[in-house]
Chain A
Amino acid sequence: VQARASFKAVAEWQLTGKVTSANGEGIPGVTVVLKGSTRGTTTGADGSFTIAVPESAGTLVFSSIGFLTQERSFTGAQSFSVKLAEDTKALDEVVVVGYGTQKKADVTGAIATLDASKLEERPILRVDQALVGTLAGVQVQQNTGLPGRGFTVQIRGNGSITANNQPLYVIDGFPLEAVSPNSNGNYANGSPLDNINPNDIQSIEVLKDAAAAAIYGSRAANGVVLVTTKRGKTGKPQISFNTYAGVSQAVRKMDLLSSEEWIERATELINGAWVRSAPGRSASDNNDVRRAALKLAPGAYDPGLMPDDRWSQPGHPGLDYVDWQDEIFRTGKVQNYQVSAAGATDNVNYYVSGNYTNQDGIVIGVNYKRYSARANMEVQASKRLKFGLNISPSYSISNDPGVEGKDNILQKLITTAPVVESTAGLNTNYGKFDRYLWANSNNSPYSLLTDRQQRSTNFRTLSTVFGELQIIEGLRFRTTLNLDNNDARNKSYVPNATSGGLGATGTFSAYRKQAFVNENTLGYNRTLFDKHSISALAGYSYNFFKTETDKLKSSGGFVNGAVTTLNGAQNISGTADNGTSETQNVLLSYFGRLQYAFDGKYLLSASVRRDGSSRFGENDKWGVFPAASVGWRISQESFMQAVKPVSELKLRASLGYSGNNGIGDYSSVPTLGIYNYVFGNALSTGQAPNIAANPDLRWEKSRTVDFGLDYGFLKNRIFGSFDYYTKTSSDLLLNQPVPGSSGFGSQLVNIGEVVNRGWEVEMNTRNLTGAFQWNTALNLTHNQNQVKHLGAGDAPIEIGTAAYGAASVLLQVGQPMYSIYVVEQTGILTQQDLDNGTPIIQGQTVGDPKYFDANGDGIISVADRKIMGQPSPKLVWGITNTFNYKGFDLSVLVQGQNGGSMYSLIGRAIDGTSMGYNQNVSGNQRDRWRSVDSPGAGIRGQARANFSPLLSSSWLYSTNYYRVRNITVGYNLGNVLNKRIAQGARVYLSAENFFGHDNYTGGYNVEATNSSNSSDGFSVATDYGGLPLTKSMTLGLNVTF
Chain B
Amino acid sequence: CEDELDQSPISSGSVPTFYRSATDFNQALSATYSVLRGYPDRELTLSETRSDNIYGVSTQGIRPWESVNNFATTLATSEYVDDAWSSNYTGIFRANVLLDQLAQNGSVLTDDARNRMEGEAKFLRAFYYFNLVQYFGPVPLVDKPLDPAAVRTINRTPVAEVYDLIIRDLQTAGDKLSSSYTGADVGRATKWAAKGMLARVYITRSGPTHGIDGPGRGTNDYAAANTLLDEIINSKLFTFLPVYADIFSYTNENNKEVLFDIQYISGGTGLGASYPSILVTGNYFNSVVANTSGFSTGDELRAASDNLINTYAQNDLRRAQALQVGFTVPASGSTPAVTEPRAAFKKYLDVPKRGSSRTDWSINFIVLRYTDILMMKAECVLKGGGAGDVDGIMNQVRRRGIANAPLVTGTTFDQLMEERRREFVGEGLRWHDLLRSPSAVNIMNNWIAADDIRNRMRKPINANDLIYPVPQSEMAASGYLYKQNPGYN
A contact set with B: CB distance below 8 Å: 269, 273, 276-278, 294-297, 299-305, 318, 421-424, 433-437, 440-441, 496-499, 503, 542, 544, 555-557, 571, 573-577, 580-586, 588, 612-614, 618, 621, 665-666, 669-673, 675-690, 692-693, 736-745, 747, 792-793, 795-798, 800, 803-807, 841-843, 857, 859, 861-863, 913-918, 945-950, 1015
Chain A residues in 8 Å Cβ range of B472: 798, 805-807, 862
Pairwise interchain contact A685-B30, C-beta atoms closer than 8 A? yes
Name B15's contact: one of A302, A557, A576, A689 (CB within 8 Å). Answer: A689
Using a CB–CB cutoff of 8 Å, the interface residues on chain B facing chain A are: 1-2, 4-16, 18, 24, 26-37, 58-62, 64, 66-67, 70, 72-74, 76-79, 82, 85-86, 89-90, 92-94, 96-97, 139-140, 142, 145-149, 151-152, 154, 183-188, 253, 263-265, 267-271, 282, 291, 293-294, 299, 328, 331-341, 356, 453-456, 458, 471-474, 476-480, 489
Instruction: Indicate whether A862 sits within 8 Å of B76 (C-beta atoms), given known contacts A300-B338, A682-B184.
Output: yes
Q: How far is the CA of A351 from the CA of B194 in the complex (A)?
A: 77
Query: Are the C-beta atoms of B331 and A741 separated by less than 8 Å?
Result: no
Once the chains bind, are A498 and B293 in contact (CB under 8 Å)? yes
Contact check, A739 vs B152: say whether CB atoms are below 8 A apart. Answer: yes
Contacts of B4 in A (CB 8 A): 544, 586, 588, 614
Q: What are the 4 tightest A-B residue pairs by CB atom distance, in nearest-first order?
A: A743-B93, A916-B60, A686-B31, A686-B30
**Are A681 and B337 neighbours in the complex by a CB distance under 8 Å?**
no
A434 to B282, CA, bound (A): 13
Contacts A277-B453, A792-B479 known; A302 to B341 CB distance under 8 Å? yes
Query: When the two chains form the complex, which single residue of A679, A741, A797, A915 contacts B139, counting CB atoms closer than 8 Å?
Result: A741
The contact of A437 among B14, B76, B335, by CB within 8 Å, is B335
Contact (Cβ within 8 A) B474 A740 = yes
In the assembled complex, the Cα of A878 lies from the Cα of B107 at a distance in Å of: 69
Chain A residue contacts of B97, Cβ below 8 A: 688-689, 743
Can you list 5 residue pairs at the A/B interface with Cβ under 8 Å? A296-B341, A573-B267, A581-B11, A740-B477, A742-B152
Beta-carbon contact of B336 and A301 below 8 Å: yes
Query: How far is A588 from B3 in the complex, measured between Cα atoms in Å?
Result: 10
B292 vs chain A, min Cβ distance (A):
8
Asked if residues A300 and B60 are in contact (CB atoms below 8 Å), the reply is: no
Chain B residues with CB below 8 A from A672, complex form: 12-15, 18
Given contacts A739-B140, A747-B148, whether A421 and B11 have CB atoms under 8 Å apart is: no
Q: Please state if A676 and B30 are interface contacts (CB–CB under 8 Å).
A: yes
* CB-defined contacts of A424 to chain B, threshold 8 Å: 334
- Are A739 and B338 interface neighbours, CB within 8 A? no
List of B residues within 8 angstroms of A441 by Cβ? 282, 293, 299
CA distance A688 to B11 in the complex (A): 14
Q: Bound state CA distance, A373 and B455, in angstroms?
A: 68
Name the A residues within 8 Å of B32 (CB-CB): 686, 688
With A740-B474, A843-B458, A948-B67 already in contact, the answer to whether A612 and B186 are too (CB < 8 A) is no
Decide: A742 near B142, CB < 8 A? Known: A582-B10, A614-B6, A670-B16. Answer: yes
Residues of A within 8 A of B12 (CB): 581, 666, 671-673, 690
Distance, CA A71 to CA B92, complexed state (A): 85
User: Would you call A684 and B151 a contact (CB within 8 A)?
Assistant: no
Q: Give chain B residues whose Cβ lies under 8 Å from the Cβ of A861.
A: 73-74, 489
Q: A581-B11, A683-B265 are known contacts. Are A741 and B140 too (CB-CB below 8 A)?
A: yes
CB within 8 Å for A434 and B338 given contacts A679-B188, A739-B474: no
Known: A687-B28, A689-B97. A496 touches B294 (CB 8 A): yes
Q: How far is the CB of B26 from chain A (nearest CB, A)?
A: 8
B210 to chain A, nearest CB (A): 21
Measured in the bound complex, the distance between the Cα atoms of B60 and A269 in whole Å is: 8
Quick check: B477 and A675 within 8 Å, CB to CB?
A: no
The reply to whether A863 and B268 form a contact with Cβ atoms under 8 Å apart is no
Query: Is there contact, CB below 8 Å, between A842 and B72?
Result: yes
CB distance from B148 to the nearest CB of A (A): 4
- Known contacts A294-B341, A678-B263, A688-B31; A498 and B294 CB within 8 A of each other: yes
Q: Across the interface, do A795 and B479 meet the contact criterion of CB distance under 8 Å?
A: yes
Query: What's the dominant secondary structure at chain A's contact region?
Result: loop
* Cross-chain contact B146 with A742 (CB below 8 angstroms): yes
Contact A300 B337, beta carbon cutoff 8 Å: yes
User: Shortest Cβ distance from A128 into chain B, in angstroms?
Assistant: 30
Residues of B within 8 A of A686 (CB): 27-34
Cβ contact of A682, chosen from B67, B265, B299, cutoff 8 A? B265
Contact call B263/A948, Cβ cutoff below 8 A: no
B7 contacts which of A585, A682, A798 (Cβ < 8 Å)? A585
> Bound state CA distance, A177 and B66, in angstroms?
47
Q: Given A297-B339, A677-B33, A945-B62, is A669 in contact with B9 using a C-beta cutoff of 8 Å?
A: yes
Cβ 8 A contact of A863, one of B265, B293, B489: B489
Q: Whose C-beta in chain A lies nearest to the C-beta of B30?
A: A686
Q: Is the CB of B77 within 8 A of A806?
A: yes
B190 to chain A, nearest CB (A): 13
CB-CB nearest in chain B for A303: B338
Q: Are A297 and B148 in contact (CB under 8 A)?
A: no
Q: Would you call A296 and B339 a contact (CB within 8 A)?
A: yes
Question: Max chain B CB contacts within 10 Å: which of A305, A503, A688?
Answer: A688
Query: In the complex, which of the residues A503, A556, A738, A948 contacts B66, with contact meaning CB atoms closer than 8 Å?
Result: A948
Contacts of A577 on B, CB cut-off 8 Å? Answer: 270
Q: Complex Cα distance A738/B253, Å? A: 39
- With A743-B93, A798-B476, A806-B472 known as contacts, the answer to whether A678 contacts B356 (CB < 8 A) is no
**Interface hub of A299, A301, A571, A747 (most chain B Cβ within 10 A):** A301
Given contacts A677-B187, A679-B188, A805-B77, 8 further A-B contacts (CB under 8 A): A586-B5, A614-B6, A669-B8, A678-B264, A679-B186, A680-B183, A842-B73, A948-B70
Q: Find the A residue at minimum CB distance from B458.
A: A842
> Out of B96, B185, B473, which one reaches A807, CB within 8 Å?
B473
Whether the Cβ atoms of A423 and B268 lie closer than 8 Å is no
Shortest C-beta distance, B195 to chain A (Å), equals 21
C-alpha gap A680/B264 in the complex (Å): 10
Bound Cα distance from A946 to B458, whole angstroms: 10
Contact of A740 among B58, B70, B86 (CB under 8 A): B86
A744 touches B148 (CB 8 A): yes
A679 engages B184 (CB within 8 Å): yes
Contacts of B183 in A (CB 8 A): 680
Query: CB-CB < 8 A to A680: which residues of B?
Result: 183-187
What is the chain B residue whose CB lies nearest that of A573?
B268
Bound CA–CA A23/B242 (angstroms): 112
Chain B: which residue is nearest A572 at the CB level? Answer: B268
Bound Cα distance A881, B206 (Å): 81
- Would you give the shortest CB distance from B40 to chain A, in whole angstroms? 13
Flag if B85 contacts A740 (CB, 8 Å). yes
* Complex Cα–Cα for A588 and B77 (A): 46
Q: How far is the CB of A267 from chain B (nearest CB, A)?
A: 13
Provide the residues of chain B in CB contact with A571, threshold 8 Å: 268
